[in-house]
Chain A
Amino acid sequence: MNVQFRPSADAPVTAKTAIADCDIHPARRSMKDLYPYLAKRWHDHLETYGGHAYQGMMEGPPYPKAQPNASRRDAYPPEGGVQGSSLSFMQQQHLDPNNVALGVLNPLNTGQGLRNQELSAALATAINDWQIAEWTSKDSRLKGSVVVANEDGVASAAEIRKRAGDKNFVQVLLLSRNVEPLGQRRYWPIYEAAQEAGLPIGVHAFGFGGNPITASGWPSYYIEEMVGHSQCQQTALASIVLEGVLERFPKLKMIMIEAGFGWAPSLAWRLDRVWQRLRSEVPHVKRPPSEYIKDHIWWTTQPMEDPERRDHLFQTIDWIGWDKLLFATDYPHWDYDEPSRVLPAGVSDANRAAFYLGNARELYGIA
């Protein structure tokens, strides 16, 4: 999680092996980058009223980040613009030297979860067109995520169906914090359309749905927001399981992105125990919750859990399954995980290959 990466002499030699990076954040320089893909009406609207999100700030995040744009200070493109806004610099700084064979784009600050649903839908379509025009059509290693106006299930399903079969996209992107927990019925049209299109759902940490980010109200610090993503993700996943989403959409695959994975075993054990007691309340949950999680959920690795003792990390991964982890760096964000340093020594070649590339290729169907 170092902002400036210093190579160390004992780093494993795997750095140059081809990898998948399942969480890359392409940035727009400003909202104007999207204007070519957005009706004139919305240019005027945005300039007059702004985005009108479920939080108070006109611009920027309510918890100030620890770095400008939450990104590495060494990731500003030489030609100007914010970190992550230049394809050529991303290639030069990240994709080429790290031998990224498959890079999954997760655009944030896209207009997902705005209060104005029509604007949110227009922006989702625009950001998807922008991903093709500016990124995936220019570098075949990069694949996009179908961004949807998730509070409007019908509009989201239409956007997913529009992109179905388009090889520029490998998943549908949702955020973890929304107006309601992600298992709720308002989101089911998204899951139905994604299953139909054969696209996994990526659930990335973040978002503002108007709910305090703890069940006890708003905390004080950025670190509480960052650590809190894992609690939000746990609750969102519990909702998905307990609402029966994975029973109703049995072919659906979901990826928990940037929220950690170390909590998965404990959450699954807790769900199983409590389900034994309270299953009469949720008869639509037919199997122990841990089985749904095992069958349907994948996890990106960054920010990698980092216990003092590496055997604790390996035991935790054993509980989850080496076949369920997808390597991710989070480039260009400040808490970037460096590919050559993230996995301690002592992992078998087969597990290492699955972790860095094989699992992602199989899940996303990329040869």
Chain B
Amino acid sequence: MTSPIAGGVDCDLHPALPHLTSLLPYLNDYWRDQVTTRGMTDLESQSYPPHSPISARPDWRPAKGKPGASLHDLTTHALDPFGTGIGICNPLYGLQMVFSEDMADAFCRALNDWLVKEWLDKDARLRGSIVIPVQSVEKSVAEIERCARDSRFVQVLMLVMGDIPLGKRAYWPIYAAAERHGLPIGVHAGSNYHNPPSSVGWGSYHIEDYVAQAQAFQTQLTSLIVEGVFAKYPRLKMVMLESGFTWLPSYVWRLHKFWRGVRMETPWVDRAPMEIVRSNIRFSLQPVDAPPDPETLNRLFDHMQSDELLLFSTDYPHWQFDGNAVLPDGLSPELVRKIMIDNPYATYTRLNGAGSKESAA
């Protein structure tokens, strides 16, 4: 086992909203009434069925309630054991599944306010991601502007499977706002299920949906790169969360080969795909889709040809590792420092400030 070092940044924590009704204190009269009068059910996404083994490590599963719903559990399970200095909260509540942009907007604002009040205000180590109503680009930008005033929000959160590919120009105002405020875009595993959750249709099983997250990340990277997002927003970072990363080298080899062949189709892509990945794309550490032998893993790191791409994560409370083995075997001390401290601080520039409710830089 490779030992973590103190002061690291955990880039993928999942505090759980206990229930849709937990948002009631943060909703206005109209939406509070909508939730109660219509008998709305909890917006729990089938990307992570609460009782699925992958959704919570057995020893992190609470006696009752949703895994990840307790601040005390999160800090004692995920922060304290690894000496974590900063933890970034990425709520996965299923707001992206909502079809109405008005409803999505109201719920996202409430969720972001809930995160501040119930989590960020209660533990100084915690930082947040802004969940946006992607159903409306205009409303998403407004929510980024609203939340960005609190410098404890360090990222904007989107899902890897949505209505349209992430590189599409329609989304660019979101990226402009994120870049303007020094917020990376975190792209997390999960779907709004408005499209089949794989590129070849609906599979039968939850396990297929989970495996297919990796392929979804690959098609999104293609979209982001070839549409020219990083030519337009060169300072924008995007972080692939719970994406796996061992697919990256062979994926880039293929993209690079086709880019050489048909780059006349997208002439604004003026750098090789791997260069763009190195400057603008990062990946959370967990899950490590590799066999548990250091030699294979180190070969994979060599294939990635950069030690700046990975950011430490536990993916709490999802079950990606056992015991304290959050870092795979065979990492050098230099790489551990890069993954746990240097790379996250270089990616999340807002972490370099004090982190306060008031104005962000």
Contacts and interface: CB of A to CB of B under 8 A. Distances in A.
A306 B198 CA distance: 26
A278 B54 CA distance: 7
B101 to A, nearest CB: 17
Contacts of B249: 262, 307, 312
Interface stretch (B65-73, B125-133, B163-171): B163-171
Interface in A185-229: 209, 211-224, 226-228
Contacts of A316: 250, 303
A234 B219 CA distance: 12
B205 A270 contact: no
Contacts of B303: 307, 312, 315-316
A260 B223 CA distance: 19
B361 to A, nearest CB: 33
Interface stretch (A41-49, A81-89, A173-181, A352-360): A173-181
Contact of B207 (A66, A230, A242, A263): A242
A146 B164 CA distance: 36
Given A260-B250, A269-B246, A312-B302, A215 B198 contact: yes
A58 interface: no
A232 interface: yes
Nearest to A209: B201
B208 A242 contact: yes
Contacts of A209: 200-201
A231 B211 contact: no
Nearest to A226: B258
Contacts of B199: 177, 211-215, 228, 231-232, 235
Contacts of A243: 204
A267 B201 contact: no
A263 B247 contact: yes
A277 B198 CA distance: 20
Nearest to B196: A211
A278 B289 contact: no
Contacts of A327: none
B100 interface: no
A264 to B, nearest CB: 8
Nearest to A233: B200
A281 B51 CA distance: 12
Contacts of A267: 211, 214, 247
B261 A334 contact: yes
B200 A227 contact: no
A66 B185 CA distance: 32
A216 B251 contact: no
Interface residues of B, number: 69
A304 to B, nearest CB: 8
Given A216-B162, A219-B219, A281 B205 contact: yes
Interface stretch (B25-33, B110-118, B262-270): B262-270
Interface string B189-201: 0010001111111
Nearest to A224: B222
Interface residues of A, number: 69
B38 interface: no
A14 interface: no
Interface string B280-301: 0000000101110000100100
B99 interface: no
Given A180-B202, A280-B53, A228 B219 contact: yes
A271 B218 CA distance: 16
Nearest to B256: A306
Contact of A215 (B167, B191, B210, B259): B191
B257 interface: yes
Given A215-B199, A216-B162, A278 B52 contact: yes
A277 B319 contact: yes
A347 to B, nearest CB: 18
A303 interface: yes
Interface string A275-311: 1011011100000000000000000000101111000
Contacts of B200: 176-178, 180-182, 209, 211, 232, 235-236, 239
B106 interface: no
Contacts of A351: none
B220 interface: yes
A181 B163 contact: no
B227 A215 contact: no
Given A66-B265, A228-B199, A281 B226 contact: no
B261 A335 contact: yes
A273 interface: yes
Contacts of A343: none
B97 to A, nearest CB: 14
A222 B262 contact: yes
Given A238-B212, A266-B289, A278-B52, A217 B165 contact: yes
26 contacts: A66-B262, A176-B200, A178-B200, A178-B201, A180-B202, A181-B201, A184-B204, A212-B199, A215-B196, A216-B163, A217-B165, A219-B165, A220-B223, A223-B262, A224-B226, A226-B262, A234-B215, A267-B211, A270-B246, A271-B211, A275-B207, A282-B205, A305-B250, A305-B253, A335-B258, A335-B261
Interface of A: 1, 3, 66, 176-184, 209, 211-224, 226-228, 230-232, 234-236, 238-239, 242-243, 260, 262-263, 265-267, 269-275, 277-278, 280-282, 303, 305-308, 312, 315-316, 319, 334-335
Given A216-B163, A216-B195, A306-B253, 7 more contacts: A209-B200, A214-B219, A215-B161, A232-B215, A262-B254, A278-B207, A280-B53
Q: Which 7 A-B residue pairings sit nearest by Cβ, starting from the closest? A: A262-B250, A214-B219, A231-B215, A270-B289, A266-B247, A266-B246, A278-B207
